[in-house]
Amino acid sequence: MILEDLMGKGVPPFRREHDLAHANSRRIDDLIEMTEDPVQKATLLVLSKIDSALDANTAATNRIAVELAEHRDDVKNFRGEFAKHDKIETEDRAKLVGARSVAMGVFGFISVLFAVLAAMGTFILSDHRGKLQDAERGVMELRLEVSRLKSEIAR
């Protein structure tokens, strides 16, 4: 009879589990006070302890479920932020690769330009050196001719 009372007969329906658990605890406590039989009282005391442990376990499980849901949401947010960051990094890497290609092309062009200028400078200098040597040779020949003419006049 007492156990049937605990199973919910005569207990008004409750919408929330917390109210139902609290109502069951109150019912068990009321039955413990009402009963005179020591065996039933001991059974009800054990049942009360089990009920309290189950209530605590349910509350802990609910807290864990809430924390897990929050963690799952945090992981989803992190994945979304990571995907955005990865996309930006990929775009930046692509820009750097393109910039590196442009820089290498410009560097190659400048290198070729300097090589051409160096070759032209060498050619121009060698040409001027040759002309200068020819001019010096001509001056020497004129000096020799002037000396020879002076010595002929002096004779």
Domain assignment present for 123: no
Angle, vertex CA 146, rays to CA 140 and CA 147, nearest 5: 90
Domain assignment present for 140: no
For tokens 């002096």, the residue is 154
Number of domains composing the chain: 1
Angle, vertex CA 41, rays to CA 36 and CA 46, nearest 5: 175
* pLDDT, tens digit only, all 155 positions of the chain: 444 444 444 444 433 555 566 677 788 888 888 888 889 989 988 988 998 898 889 889 999 999 999 999 999 999 989 999 999 999 999 989 889 999 999 999 999 999 999 999 888 888 888 888 888 898 898 889 888 888 888 77
Domain assignment present for 134: no
Q: Which domain holds residue 28?
A: 2-107+112-116+148-154
pLDDT at 117: 92
Domain assignment present for 70: yes
Residue 36 in tokens: 């005179």
Encode pLDDT of 82-110 as tens digits.
999 999 999 999 989 889 999 999 999 99
Residue 149 in tokens: 């003419």
